[in-house]
Amino acid sequence: MKQKLIVFFKKRETIVALISLVVFGVLLWVDLSTKAWAESTNVRQNAFFLGIVRFYFTKNTGMAFSWFDDNEAAMTVVTIFTVVLIVALAALFFTVFKRNTPARITLAVIEAGAIGNLIDRLALGYVRDMVDVSPLGFGVCNFADFFITFGGVALLVVIAFIGKDALFPLTKKWRDEAKAEEERKEALKAAAESPSEAPSAQDPETPSSEEGNNEPKHDE
């Protein structure tokens, strides 16, 4: 049993899964901690740092960046969609992207943001926001919103360009690996579709009793 555990924890997929779990835990803690700090201090800065961002606590009953604020029907749909998204991302983590390290890390980042906001919405009925980026054309958001947004963009980049499984692999090494993988699949497919040509053993023909009796018959 001990040897099996050692082999399990030495597997690359297991190591990446543990790293992703740590990333998820740290980011979720960052999100919930900053929300708790903003609410307890009711931070309300007047000046924008570099003219684009400030800390300004609000209770958001809408989506990220204060979209659909106070729209109860929309938020019910958003909550259901968030739960479905969380389950879907977890399924992708353990199936489609099981051997894709960058994709698994970005999925962990998105999950941290989605679960952080879901906890607020289910426990409080609103999401705690504190990062005001309204000069950029957005509203007030939180770190979970950043995790979801940037994690989603990063995941699209990974799917499109990073690794041998990408749609358009960037490096020659990844393209060569993708070509070799495709050739291997084609060879396996061809081998599975070709009929078996194993020779079948045939019993030598044995003459029947009538054929074997070649002696002439004499009339009595």
The contacts of residue 124 (CB under 8 Å, 6+ apart) are 59
Active-site choice (31, 120, 129, 132)? 129
Is the distance from CB of 86 to CB of 118 less than 8 angstroms?
yes
Nearest Cα neighbor of 149 from 182, 196, 110 is 110
Is the distance from CB of 31 to CB of 112 less than 8 angstroms?
yes
The span from the CA of 172 to the CA of 164, in Å, is: 10
Please name the amino acid found at residue 122: L
Active-site choice (31, 120, 132, 145)? 145
Active site residue 219: no
Strand order in the sheet with 54-60: 54-60, 127-132, 140-141
| Token output for 147 | 């995790």
Active site residue 129: yes
Positions marked catalytic: 129, 145
